[in-house]
Amino acid sequence: MDLDKVLGFAVILGWDDLKKAGDMASARVEFNSAVGTALDYLSVWSVDGEGHQSMLCDYWTWTAPAHARGISFKKDINSPGLASALDFILMNQNQFSRPAGAFPEGLTLVDPPSADERAEATAWMAVAHGAATNVSPAVAEKVAVL
């Protein structure tokens, strides 16, 4: 499955929690990773109806003095669904593809999800957790190998 698609699913799974932060008309996930290399950082942003943008959270797969490993929500935001999905995706990212000619700068746009999109994201997560080898928070700088 495509990395962009599963990152969209992660945002859909956390949509209701993220929407509590304000007037969110859409969301985007930004990341930087050349095709064939591990993704070690991403950020999730909200965009309101007037185009104003606000970072909702970011995620690091490794610890440094400037940041902790895992998800870090901004303001008073918390979304267990988004956190769980991102943990799974980043720990198992070798299961997801990017087009061979994709730019290193990745961008996934997510509009308010329909009932069908919510059902598809929920079903994907249920199947993913059932087939996964790694479903707990990211540890160290390792990516699961299947």
Split into its structural domains, the chain has a count of 1
Q: Are 8 and 110 in contact (CB under 8 A)?
A: yes
Asked, for residue 113, whether it belongs to a domain, the answer is yes
Q: What is the pTM of this model?
A: 0.85
Evaluate whether residue 26 is within a structural domain: yes
Token pair for residue 129?
């957790």
Please check whether residue 120 lies inside any domain of the structure: yes
- Segment 8-64, tens digit of pLDDT: 999 999 999 999 888 899 999 999 887 777 888 999 999 999 999 999 999 999 889
**Do 135 and 91 contact (CB within 8 A), yes or no?**
yes
What is the C-alpha end-to-end distance of the chain, expressed in Å? 15
Q: What are the pLDDT digits (tens) for 32-43?
A: 887 777 888 999
- Residue 137 DSSP code: P
Burial class (CB in 10 A: 0-12, 13-18, 19+), 137: middle
For residue 129, the 8-state DSSP code is H
Helix (H) or strand (E) holding 54: strand 53-60
DSSP structure class, residue 31: E
Domain carrying residue 41: 3-131
Q: Is residue 137 part of a domain?
A: no
Identify the DSSP state of 67. Answer: B
